[in-house]
């Protein structure tokens, strides 16, 4: 989830094509759609995904799949992008997705940015729900964690206390590696300026002091939402505003950094039309490593593609491309990543 007026989680910059403060997000689990994710095709440009279900002309963003890709969480915000709610869906026996419902763990407050651990046992998300016995919601967002229970539902969430969540400071977009290391965005002391990306190492079942990801990733600008590969070999993240490198294209852009010899390499913007003049953000990768999903405020200039609304209702697609977030996807193989990798090109191609 993108945030802050000039980059505060409490006011992500958007408002139909322009960055504005505030919004409401909904995490959704869906049903009644058509088909599970399939093998990546040869297309070399982003395609609209899930018209009528995942992409509806509302503020749709974030796709979080379970390891078997039969459960999905995704987010939706109101037109001002200032309050968030989570929904969920699962793939049924006939190949359609179930009707979206608000999961038990998200029945209240403002919740967003879900991430399911690679082993499927733990869910991380952000919330402004009360902490430490308080009655009122917080004015900032912290990272919370819920465990998968025997019935398949998520259990009662627990706040990740310091050093991960800091009082009076926003944390957003938690993403966890297979070894438990937790990556997230935050504007806190010790950064490079603005918002930075951080990691909390999981050691003997506990999180140690958070580490800044350093100059190859962070700048004096605003690096926001990380998605970490399960083996920590690469990181895809969103950037708000203009970076020192001068290679940004719009309000929010997606960048890639590879980890070589234990060190993060200089981040480069993703090519193949991923970044537009609008906002491209809230990215995730399918568990099979084949697809990069992201939300974009770009005008609709590609085919709507397969309709996922069942029964079909044209009202669910009338607002596509109107400047609010729609879900797009692109094959990761185009960037030399995943099981179908075609090259080692990481960023823009000429």
Residue 78 in this model has a pLDDT that exceeds 70: yes
* pLDDT bracket for residue 85 (50, 70, 90): confident
In the sheet that 206-212 helps form, which strands lie side by side, from edge to edge? 171-176, 182-186, 196-203, 206-212
Cα(129)–Cα(227) distance, integer angstroms: 24
Output the 3-class SS for 194-208.
CCEEEEEEEECCEEE
pLDDT mean over 158-163:
95
Residue 25 in this model has a pLDDT that exceeds 50: no
pLDDT mean over 113-140:
94
Dump pLDDT digits (tens) for 304-335: 988 887 778 888 888 898 888 999 999 999 99
Residue 70 in this model has a pLDDT that exceeds 60: yes
* 328 burial level (CB within 10 Å; 0-12, 13-18, 19+): buried
Q: Are 249 and 275 in contact (CB under 8 A)?
A: yes
pTM over 0.85? The answer is yes
Q: What b/e string do you get for 205-220 counting C-beta neighbours within 10 Å, with b at 16 or more?
A: eebeebebbeeebbbe
Cα(263)–Cα(254) distance, integer angstroms: 20
Cα(89)–Cα(272) distance, integer angstroms: 30
Taking the CA atoms of residue 95, residue 58, residue 224 and residue 332 in that order, the dihedral angle to the nearest 10 degrees is 40
Q: SS3 for 314? A: helix
- Locate 136 and state its tokens: 């009122």
Q: Are 105 and 154 in contact (CB under 8 A)?
A: yes
Beta-sheet pairing, 234-240 with 252-260:
antiparallel
Cα(72)–Cα(329) distance, integer angstroms: 15
Residues present in the chain in total: 350
Dump pLDDT digits (tens) for 88-104: 888 888 888 888 889 99
* pLDDT bracket for residue 221 (50, 70, 90): confident
- Locate 60 and state its tokens: 């749709």
How far out from the chain centre does Cα 13 lie? 16
pLDDT mean over 285-296:
96
Domains plus CATH for the chain?
A: 23-335 (2.120.10.30)
Cα distance from N-terminal residue to C-terminal residue, the chain: 30
- Looking at residue 350, what is its pLDDT? 28
Q: When comparing pLDDT for 329 and 87, which is higher? A: 329
Q: Are 153 and 169 in contact (CB under 8 A)?
A: no
Percent of the chain with pLDDT over 90: 58
- Locate 209 and state its tokens: 């002091």
Q: When comparing pLDDT for 191 and 244, which is higher? A: 191
From the CB of residue 38, how many other CB atoms can be counted at a distance below 10 Å? 10
- Looking at residue 39, what is its pLDDT? 59
């Amino acid at each position: 989830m993108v945030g802050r007026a000039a980059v505060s989680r409490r006011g992500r910059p958007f408002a139909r094509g322009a960055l504005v403060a505030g919004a409401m997000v909904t995490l959704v689990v869906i049903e009644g759609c058509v088909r599970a994710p399939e093998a990546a095709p040869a297309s070399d440009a982003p395609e609209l995904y899930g018209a009528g279900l995942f992409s509806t002309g509302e503020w749709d963003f974030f796709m979080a799949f379970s390891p078997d890709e039969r459960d999905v969480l995704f987010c939706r915000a109101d037109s001002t992008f200032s309050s968030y709610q989570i929904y969920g869906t699962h793939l049924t026996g006939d190949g359609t997705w179930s009707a979206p419902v608000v999961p038990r763990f998200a029945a209240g407050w403002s919740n967003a940015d879900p991430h399911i651990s690679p082993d499927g046992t733990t869910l991380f998300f952000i919330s402004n729900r009360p902490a430490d016995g308080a009655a009122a919601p917080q004015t900032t967002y912290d990272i919370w964690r819920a465990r998968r229970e025997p019935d398949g539902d998520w259990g009662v969430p627990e706040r990740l206390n310091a050093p991960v969540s800091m009082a009076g400071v926003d944390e957003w977009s938690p993403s966890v590696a297979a070894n438990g290391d937790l990556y997230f965005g935050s504007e806190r002391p010790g950064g490079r300026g603005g918002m930075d990306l951080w990691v909390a190492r999981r050691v003997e079942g506990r999180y140690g002091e958070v580490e800044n990801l350093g100059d190859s990733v962070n700048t004096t600008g605003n690096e926001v939402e990380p998605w970490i590969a399960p083996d920590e070999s690469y990181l895809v993240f969103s950037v708000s505003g203009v970076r020192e490198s001068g290679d940004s294209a719009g309000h929010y852009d997606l960048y890639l950094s590879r980890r070589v010899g234990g060190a993060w390499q200089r981040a480069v913007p993703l090519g193949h039309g991923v970044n537009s003049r609008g906002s491209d953000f809230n990215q995730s990768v399918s568990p099979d490593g084949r697809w990069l999903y992201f939300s974009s405020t770009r005008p609709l200039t590609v085919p709507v593609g397969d309709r996922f609304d069942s029964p079909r209702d044209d009202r669910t697609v009338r607002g596509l491309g109107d400047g609010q977030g729609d879900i797009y996807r692109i094959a990761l193989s185009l960037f030399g990543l995943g099981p179908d990798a075609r090259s080692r090109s990481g960023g823009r191609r000429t």
